[in-house]
Amino acid sequence: MESLLELAWVVTLLPLLSAAAIAAFGKQLPGKGSELGIAALAITWLLSIGIAWQTFSAGTPEPFERAFEWSPLGGGFIFELGMLVDGLTAMMFLLVTTVSLMVHIYSREYMKGEPRFTYFYAMLSLFTFSMLLLVIANNTLLAVVGWELVGLCSFLLIGFYWEDKSNQDAANKAFLTTKFGDVGLIVGVIVLSAGMFGTGTSTPFNIQETNAAAMAGELSTGTIVLGMLLIFLGCVSKSGQMPLHVWLPDAMAGPTPVSALIHAATMVTAGIFLLARLFPVLAQSATVMAVIAIVGVITLFFGGLLALVQDDLKKVLAYSTVSQLGYMIAAIGVGGYTASIFHLFTHGFFKALLFLGAGSLIHAVHSNNMSDMGGMRKPMPHTFWTFIIGSLALAGFPLTAGFFSKDEILIAGDLWAGQGFMTGNLVYWVGLAAAFVTTFYMARACFLVFAGENRSHHAPHESGPQMVAPLMLLAVLSIASGYLLSPFSSQEFNFENWTATPFVEDATYPFIDAEASGGGVLAAGGQSIMAAADGEFTILHGVPTWHFDLLAIVLVVFAAAVFLAYRFYGKGLPERDPTLNMGAATTVLVNKYGFDAFGYRYIVVPVRDTLAKWATWSSNVVIDGMVAGAGRATKNAAFATYRVLDQRVIDGGVNGAAFSAAWWSDRLKRIQSGDVQRYAGALVAGTIVLVLAIAAVR
C-alpha cells in the first residue's frame, strides 16, 4: 500500500519537468506549450488523488517520511532532500494540483493571443512545482527554498505585463514586501535549528524532529518564542496579514488566472501551511498563540472593511482574500488547527472560482470595474451561477463549503474562550461581525455585476468551454468540499481525522493548567477539544454536531447583509439612493420607521464610507506611506552614505595619504637640480659634516 506514497516526489517534480519542457520547445508545439503543462498537471492531479486516498483511508495517518542526504553543511550537519507525506501534505496536494489544473485549462482561452503565452505556461508550471516543493518538504530549509521560489514566480507573473510602470511597481512591491517578511522566516528557521543543536541531531532542520523536540520540552522557551514569532513575520507578509497585506491588492496587476492560482488559493496560504506544519511548536507558547490570534483578528475584520469601497472587482476579491486569510491565521492562534486548514482547503476552491469568474467577466467587458459591468446575468449565465455559488460559499451561506469551514473557526474560538482566553472571544465575535461585512460586500458585488443595466461598452457574451468547465468543476467543489467535515460526514469519512497526525494529536498546551481548567486540553481541531478530568489526555475524532444557535445567528447575519445590499444595489449602480427622495408622506413607511435610515446613517454610512475609508486611508496612506517612506529614507540614507561617508571620509582618507605623499615629493624633488657642481658641493659639505660628527663622537 505504500507504493503510491513512495511516488509522492513525482507530484512535485513533474511540473518542474513540464516547465523546462515548455521553456525549451513549447513554442514549436501547436498549443504553444499549454498542452504539456496540462498533461503534466493532469498526471500529478490523478496521483494526488491517489495519494490522498491512500493517506486518508488510513485514518489518522502516521507521517510518511523519506529523505536522503543531499549535502553536508559543515560541523556534521546535513541538508536533507526529503519528503514528508501526511494528511496535511495530501490535502495541500489536492488543493494545489486541482486549482492549478483548472487554471492551466482556463488560461488556454483567457490568455489566447498573448505574446508571451508560452512563457506564461512555463511560469505557471514552475510555480506549481515550487508550491508543491514547499508542501512536500520534510525540513524547514527545503521549505524555505520552495517559499522563495514561489515568491519569485509570483513576482514574475505579477509583472507579466511589464511594459507598464504600474505593473512593474506592483511586482517589485510584492517581492520586496514578502522578502521583508522572509527576513523573519529565515532568521526564525535559523533560530529554531540552532535550538535543535542541543538535541544532538545531525538534521537540525527536520520538521518532525523539531516538533518532537518542542513537545518533549527540549527547546528553550526563548527559542520557541523568538523562532516562531520570526517565522510568523514571514507568514504575515506571505499570507497578506496586516500590516504587510499592502502588496496583495496591488498584485492584482497580474493576469487574472495568476491571481486565482497564486494570490487566492495557494501561495498566500503558504504562511498558514507553515504554521500548521509547526503547530506542535507554536502550541508551546501562549504568547505566540496570542500574537497570531490578534494579528489574525485585526486582519479578518479590517481587511474585510476595505472590500466595501472597491470598484475594481478583483480588488474586492483581493481584500476578501486578506480577510479570509485572517480567519485562518486567527484559527491557528486559538488552537483550531483543523478549522484553519479546513478553511484553507475550502477557501482555495471558492476563491479560485470567484477569481476565475471575475476573469470571465473581465474577458467579456474588458474592464475590471464593477461600474462598467451590470446586467451580466443574461449574457453570461454560467459565469453567473458559478459566481453566485462562490459568493455564497465565501459568505458562509448554510450548507456551502464556506459555512462549514468558517463555523469551525468560530467554534474553535468559542472553545478557546471556554479555556479562559480572551483571544477566543475575539475570534468568535469579530469573526461573526466580519461575516456580516463579507456577506455585504459580496452581495454588493453580485448586484452591481449581475443586476441592473449593462453599463459596459461591449456586447458581453459567455466565455468558451475551456473557461466555463473549470468554473463548473470549482463550483461543485465549492459546495462539496465542505461535507468532508460536517455533521453529514461519518466517523471515518472525516477531514479532521485525515489531516491530524499523531504529532498534532499529541500537541499539548503546557501553559494551560490542566487542573484549573477542569481537565487538560487537547486540540487537533475545533471539534476535538476533549479532556479527561483526571489529566489523562485523550482525543476524540468527533463528527461535528449542529450548533443551531450559531446557525441561527449566521442565517440572520446573512439575511440582513444581503437585504441591505439589495436595498442599495439591487437595481444596479445607484445614482443617489432613490429611497431618500420620496415624499414626506411615505417617508416613515419607506424608511420602516426610521430603522433603515438609522441603520444607513449610523451603521452603513459610518462603516462603509467613514470607517472603511479610514481603513483604506490607513492602508494606503499610513502603512503604505510608511513603506514608501522607508523606501525613500533608505534611498536618501544610501545617497548620503555614498556621497559623504564613502566618497569623502573613507575614500578621502585613502586619497589623502596619496596626496600628502605627492606634496612632500614635490618639495623634495627640488634638491635634484641637475647642476653637477651643486651636487659636488653637497658632497663636500656632507663629507665635512660626517668627519666632524665622527670626530665629535670619538
Partner 1 sequence: MDPNTAGWALVVALFLPLVGAGALAMMPSSMDRQIRRAAVVITGVAFALVAVITASFDFSRSGELQFTTDASWISAIDARFELGMDGISLPLFFLTYLLTFLCAIYTTKHLPSPGKPKAFLALMLLLQTGMAGTFVAFDLVLFFIFWELVLVPMFFMIGMWGGPRRDYASVKFFLYTLFGSIFMLIAFLAIYFTAGANTWSIQALSEMAPFGSTTFQTWAFLGMFLGFAIKVPMWPFHTWLPDAHTEAPTVGSVLLAGVLLKMGTYGFVRIALPILPEGAVRFAPLIGVLAVIGIVYGALCCLAQTDVKRLIAFSSVGHMGFVMLGIAAMNEAGIQAALFGNIAHGIITGMLFFLAGSLHERYHTREIAVIGGGMLKKIPRYGVLLTYVAVASLGLPGLAGFWGEFTAMWAAISPGLGLADQYAGLYLGLVVFAAIGTVLTAGYFLWLLQRVNLGDPPERWVNEQLDDVMTIEWVTWLPLLLLILALGIFPVLVFGVQDAAVTNLMGYLGG
Partner 2 sequence: MSLIGPLLLATFLFCVGVYGLIARRNAVLVLISVELMLVSVNINLVAFQNLLFPGAEAVHGQMFALFIIAVAAAEAGVGLAIIFNLFRNRATVNVDDVDLMRW
Residues that bind partner 1 (CB under 8 A): 70-77, 79, 141, 144-145, 148-149, 152, 155, 159, 162-165, 168, 172, 175-176, 179-180, 182-183, 186-187, 190-191, 193-194, 197, 634-635, 637-639, 641-643, 646, 650-651, 654, 658
- 538 forms part of the interface with partner 2 (CB under 8 A): no
- 115 forms part of the interface with partner 2 (CB under 8 A): no
- Partner touching 350 among partner 1, partner 2, none, CB below 5 to 8 Å by kind: none
Residue type for 378, please?
K
- Partner touching 643 among partner 2, partner 1, none, CB below 5 to 8 Å by kind: partner 1
Nearest of 466, 91, 15 to residue 257 by alpha carbon: 466
3-class DSSP state for residue 493? coil
Look-up: residue for cell 461519518? Answer: 490
Q: Please identify which residue in 183, 622, 680, 691 interacts with partner 2, judged by CB under 8 A.
A: 680
Separation of alpha carbons 386 and 306, rounded Å: 24
- Partner touching 635 among partner 2, partner 1, none, CB below 5 to 8 Å by kind: partner 1
- Using the contact rule CB under 8 A, the part of the chain among 231-239, 319-327, 460-468, 674-682 near partner 2 is 674-682
Within 13 A of 574's CA, how many CA atoms are on the CB side? 15
Which lies closer to partner 1 via its Cβ, residue 230 or residue 313?
Answer: 230
In the complex, the smallest distance separating the C-beta of residue 689 from partner 2, rounded to whole angstroms, is 15
Which lies closer to partner 2 via its Cβ, residue 540 or residue 688?
Answer: 688
In the complex, the smallest distance separating the C-beta of residue 216 from partner 1, rounded to whole angstroms, is 20
- Partner touching 168 among partner 2, partner 1, none, CB below 5 to 8 Å by kind: partner 1
- 672 forms part of the interface with partner 2 (CB under 8 A): yes
Which lies closer to partner 2 via its Cβ, residue 7 or residue 680?
Answer: 680
Nearest of 510, 542, 514 to residue 526 by alpha carbon: 542
The answer to whether residues 544 and 403 touch, using CB atoms and an 8 Å cutoff, is no
In the complex, the smallest distance separating the C-beta of residue 259 from partner 1, rounded to whole angstroms, is 20
3-class DSSP state for residue 544? coil
- Partner touching 149 among partner 1, partner 2, none, CB below 5 to 8 Å by kind: partner 1
- Partner touching 626 among partner 2, partner 1, none, CB below 5 to 8 Å by kind: none
Which lies closer to partner 2 via its Cβ, residue 662 or residue 676?
Answer: 676
Q: Long-range CB contacts (< 8 A, 24+ apart) of 422-430? A: 423/289, 423/290, 423/293, 423/294, 423/297, 423/333, 423/334, 424/334, 426/293, 426/294, 426/297, 426/330, 427/293, 427/296, 427/297, 427/330, 427/331, 427/333, 427/334, 430/297, 430/300, 430/301
- 640 forms part of the interface with partner 2 (CB under 8 A): no
Residue 535: what are its φ and ψ, rounded to 5°? 75, 5
Taking every pair of Cα atoms in the chain, the longest distance, rounded to a whole number of angstroms, is 132
- Partner touching 399 among partner 1, partner 2, none, CB below 5 to 8 Å by kind: none
In the complex, the smallest distance separating the C-beta of residue 663 from partner 2, rounded to whole angstroms, is 15
Which lies closer to partner 1 via its Cβ, residue 267 or residue 565?
Answer: 267
| Beta pairing partners, 139 | 206
| Beta pairing partners, 64 | 85
- Using the contact rule CB under 8 A, the part of the chain among 64-72, 163-171, 419-427, 678-686 near partner 2 is 678-686
- 676 forms part of the interface with partner 2 (CB under 8 A): yes
In the complex, the smallest distance separating the C-beta of residue 669 from partner 2, rounded to whole angstroms, is 4
Q: Please identify which residue in 673, 690, 692, 693 interacts with partner 2, judged by CB under 8 A.
A: 673
| Beta pairing partners, 83 | 66, 137
The answer to whether residues 164 and 254 touch, using CB atoms and an 8 Å cutoff, is no
Which residues, 6 or more positions from 45, have their beta carbon under 8 angstroms from its beta carbon? 97, 98, 101
Residue type for 641, please?
T
The answer to whether residues 205 and 79 touch, using CB atoms and an 8 Å cutoff, is yes
Which lies closer to partner 2 via its Cβ, residue 671 or residue 696?
Answer: 671
Which residues, 6 or more positions from 353, have their beta carbon under 8 angstroms from its beta carbon? 386, 387, 389, 390, 393, 471, 474, 475, 477, 478
Positions in 577-606 near partner 2 (CB under 8 A):
none
In the complex, the smallest distance separating the C-beta of residue 680 from partner 2, rounded to whole angstroms, is 5
Positions in 651-670 near partner 2 (CB under 8 A):
669-670
- Partner touching 563 among partner 2, partner 1, none, CB below 5 to 8 Å by kind: none
Residue 529: what are its φ and ψ, rounded to 5°? -75, 105
- Partner touching 598 among partner 1, partner 2, none, CB below 5 to 8 Å by kind: none
- 692 forms part of the interface with partner 2 (CB under 8 A): no
Q: How many residues does the chain have?
A: 698
- Partner touching 3 among partner 1, partner 2, none, CB below 5 to 8 Å by kind: none
Look-up: residue for cell 468551454? Answer: 465
Write out the residues near partner 2 by the rule CB under 8 A: 669-670, 672-677, 680-681, 684
